[in-house]
Homo-oligomer: A and B are copies of this chain.
Amino acid sequence: MNLIEYIESRRDEHLNELKEFLRIPSVSTKSEHKPDIERAAHWVAEKLRAAGLENVEITPTKMHPLVYGESLHAPGKPTVLFYGHYDVQPAEPLDLWTSPAFEPTVRDGKLFGRGTADDKGQVHIHIKALEALKNQTGKLPLNVKVMIEGEEEVGSVSLWDFVQRNRERLKADALVVSDTSMLAKGVPSITYGLRGLNYYQVEVAGPAQDLHSGVFGGAAPNPITILAEMIAKLHDRNFRVAIPGFYDDVTPLSRQERKALNSLPWKEKEFRKTVGAPALDGEKGFTIVERLWTRPTLELNGIWGGYLGEGAKTVIPAKAYAKFSTRLVPNQDPAKIAKLVERHIRQLLPKSVTCNFQVLSTGKPWVAPYTHPIFQTAIHALESGFGKKAVFIREGGSIPFVTQMHDTFKVPCVLLGFGLPDENAHAPDEHIALENYFGGIKAVALFYQQLAAQ
């Protein structure tokens, strides 16, 4: 029985174990899930040991623990550092899930549940690939370091500190990450570019307390109206971000890269169907693929103020709030952008309100030098594992850590994505295609095997 046959023979076992992982509601943004986070960390540690990793440690941080393990018994062979995260997004709104978020369910060739695609399913692919390699030959054929954090969905607040403190220990020839998507079903992909992410919260405060809108309306400042008017000034008519200096440092795409990206088998029709809106919006002068992968954006992520309940309440609220984020592209600097955003917002607000502006997190954009040979090894492994042509793509999402690692270790970062763009990563009914989960285990096992053979 060869490696691939071995992996094929374990399908049910792998899937059942993944479901176990998914049942742990390890939501990192909510403090009430702290015990679940701990449980998920222990679960990961146990599975790493089963895959042949040693020195497996659960390292406490200021927030949620990080799981690390390694196997260094292949002298002269390459060393890879695999990174993933075991924390997940909140599941709300719960009533929009077809089956409960933390009760994984297979329907129509897909596994549904919070974390299936982002990122528990993809982390599990690597653990099972390593386990298969170990079980086939008795030991892992290359040197492996695995680092699984629990704070990715809250901006990886402790990760960087851990990396700095373990710089020597973490040294590797390449970083491998699976937290991205394939271009489309049947198109295995390597992501060579990610957008950075700054996340902000703004509080606009007017009256000292909630006021009756009949008695005070027409003279008291209304924080909701003022917040809305401020938001309306953040984009111009062409849907460009209207913050002075926002685009100053953006590196323009080369004609060649632009052509390559627009030639990909990317299906606009399917994208439109996934979005499901009457029409798309976006920055004038760029194709949809360019808007999604190569252009910076400003998106509102939450807004609230006043009366949100049933029926009518004639109130002018004391305060109104918004959460929003900017996606950044090479060569924008997150700290500089955060300053530009804050300055502009403060300038936009009238003197009848005060403003509390918070930067909740920042993260750099990244592009890979994908001419390095490891990318060729990876793309061939993908093609063998899936039996399909594989492609190089970029992605609109953010893994700030990738940039930081690349900046620190100066080694290639290989992003093997096994999700799909319509798998609702941060929304109800998140899922992963079973063919990508099973194909992923084969491709990753082959990738590690071929790296060891070079």
- Name A residues whose Cβ lies closer than 8 Å to a Cβ of B: 29-31, 89-90, 92-93, 96, 153-155, 181, 195, 197, 199, 206-222, 224-229, 231-235, 271, 275-283, 288, 291-292, 295, 297, 299-317, 320-323, 325, 327, 350-354, 360-361, 395-398, 421, 424-429
Contacts and interface: CB of A to CB of B under 8 A. Distances in A.
Given A30-B310, A229-B232, 9 more contacts: A29-B309, A30-B309, A218-B292, A218-B299, A221-B277, A279-B350, A302-B307, A304-B304, A304-B305
Looking at A225, A271, A291, A305, which has the most chain B CB atoms within 10 Å of its CB? A225
Contacts of A297: 213, 217-218
A247 to B, nearest CB: 13
A353 B275 CA distance: 11
Chain copies in complex: 2
Looking at A197, A300, A306, which has the most chain B CB atoms within 10 Å of its CB? A300
A306 B312 contact: no
Contacts of A29: 309-313
Contact of A396 (B31, B215, B276, B353): B215
A230 to B, nearest CB: 8
27 contacts: A29-B312, A29-B313, A96-B209, A155-B312, A207-B275, A208-B275, A209-B276, A209-B424, A209-B427, A209-B428, A212-B426, A212-B427, A214-B395, A214-B398, A215-B292, A217-B325, A218-B283, A219-B291, A220-B275, A224-B231, A225-B231, A227-B228, A229-B235, A277-B353, A301-B307, A303-B320, A304-B305
A352 B278 contact: yes
Contact of A218 (B214, B219, B313, B327): B327
Contacts of A224: 231, 300-303, 322
Rank and list the top 6 A-B pairs by shortest CB-CB distance, nearest first: A208-B276, A214-B397, A232-B232, A302-B306, A228-B231, A224-B300
Contacts of A283: 218
Contacts of A314: 197, 199, 301, 325, 397-398, 426
Given A209-B428, A301-B316, A291 B218 contact: yes
Contacts of A424: 209-210, 212
Contacts of A222: 281, 299-300
A367 to B, nearest CB: 15
Contacts of A295: 218
Contacts of A31: 310
A350 B281 contact: yes
A154 B209 contact: no
Contacts of A323: 306-307, 312-313
B90 A309 contact: yes
A417 to B, nearest CB: 11
A213 to B, nearest CB: 4
A142 B350 CA distance: 55
Contacts of A427: 209-212, 315
B352 A280 contact: yes
B154 A220 contact: no
A31 to B, nearest CB: 7
Looking at A207, A397, A426, which has the most chain B CB atoms within 10 Å of its CB? A426
Nearest to A361: B312
A397 B428 contact: no
B280 A219 contact: yes
A396 B218 CA distance: 9
B312 A154 contact: yes
